């Protein structure tokens, strides 16, 4: 039995047993503010990997990931459809999103380990991240630095093989109610097209914490196109169930 076959069976089992436990994020896709520290956990990143070439974060949301890479001396671009908004408009949206994520987390105290009446432990970090992001976004927009690009998968305005490392968190696999398998494949082919190194995807569960049910088929199709994959065990301080990250290597990369 192949590694992927057994993983797929395990995922289908987990999907069934957790069917009624989790809560999917409903409404518009959240514009979240995960910190650089969370990204490093989720994607098993270290400073040398981040400085090894140009990094793409898609979707970047209201995270300071790209800004922090640049502070460390690296090169990073963030892409998200919400970067069509002005700094003022995005600031207002992100403010509202902090309230929305707090309400969502507090509706699931067991999942997020909340004590009655206690704040969500990551709330302060997300607020600080959003502030850092917004001030960098404002500055970059004024300077025309090109660090924030308005774009929506499955079409990115970048040349082939532009980025050494492509990071994509909390969009693919997270919103299975909105995006079907075809969308996932088109989006990932596009991330692979602009990549000359590795694409890393996290989490592999939907927003309710259930494993993506089409993972086996998704990977079979990509493997058939010459893409290679491996799984990394990772930790997540927001949701312990998000404990794996998928690494994909495009066909054209010499292994």
41 binds ligand SAM, rule: CB under 6 A: no
Residue among 80, 136, 190, 242 that touches ligand SAM (CB under 6 A): 80
208 binds ligand SAM, rule: CB under 6 A: no
Q: Give backbone dihedrals phi and psi of 55, rounded to 5 degrees, phi first.
A: -110, 135
- Cα dist from 151 to 8, 79, 83, 202, 210, whole Å: 32, 6, 8, 20, 28
Tokens of 231: 């799984």
Q: Which is nearer to ligand SAM, 7 or 133 (CB)?
A: 133
Cβ count near 146 (within 10 Å): 8
152 binds ligand SAM, rule: CB under 6 A: yes
CB of 117 to ligand SAM, least distance (A): 26
153 binds ligand SAM, rule: CB under 6 A: yes
201 binds ligand SAM, rule: CB under 6 A: no
DSSP characters over 175-235: -TTT--HHHHHHHHHHHHHTEEEEEEEE-SB-TTSPBPTTHHHHHHHHHHTT-EEEEEE--
CB of 6 to ligand SAM, least distance (A): 29
Estimate the crossing angle of helix 123-143 against helix 87-106, to 10 degrees. Answer: 160
Site map 82..121 versus ligand SAM, x via CB under 6 A: x---------------------------------------
Residue nearest to ligand SAM (CB): 61
Report the interface residues with ligand SAM, using CB under 6 A: 29-34, 58-59, 61, 63, 80-82, 152-153, 169-171
């Amino acid at each position: 039995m192949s590694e992927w076959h057994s993983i797929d069976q395990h995922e289908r089992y987990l999907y069934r047993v957790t069917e009624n436990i989790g809560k999917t994020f409903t409404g518009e896709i959240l514009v979240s503010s995960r910190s650089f520290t969370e990204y490093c956990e989720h994607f098993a990143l270290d400073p040398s990997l981040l400085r090894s070439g140009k990094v793409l974060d898609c979707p970047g949301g209201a995270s300071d990931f790209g800004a922090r890479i640049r502070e460390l001396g690296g090169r990073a671009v963030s892409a998200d459809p919400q970067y069509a908004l002005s700094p003022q408009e995005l600031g207002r949206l992100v403010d509202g999103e902090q309230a929305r994520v707090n309400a969502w987390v507090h509706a699931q105290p067991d999942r997020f380990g909340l004590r009655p009446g206690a704040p969500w432990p990551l709330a302060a970090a997300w607020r600080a991240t959003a502030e850092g992001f917004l001030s960098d976004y404002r500055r970059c927009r004024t300077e025309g630095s090109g660090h924030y690009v308005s774009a929506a998968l499955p079409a990115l305005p970048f040349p082939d093989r532009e980025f050494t490392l492509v990071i994509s968190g909390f969009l693919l696999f997270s919103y299975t109610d909105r995006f079907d398998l075809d969308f996932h494949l088109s989006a990932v082919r596009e991330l692979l097209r602009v990549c000359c190194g590795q694409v890393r995807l996290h989490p592999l569960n939907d927003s309710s914490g259930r494993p993506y049910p089409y993972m086996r088929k998704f990977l079979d199709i990509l493997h058939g196109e010459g893409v290679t994959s491996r799984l990394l065990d990772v930790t997540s301080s927001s949701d312990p169930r998000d404990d794996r990250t998928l690494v994909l290597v495009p066909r054209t990369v010499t292994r």
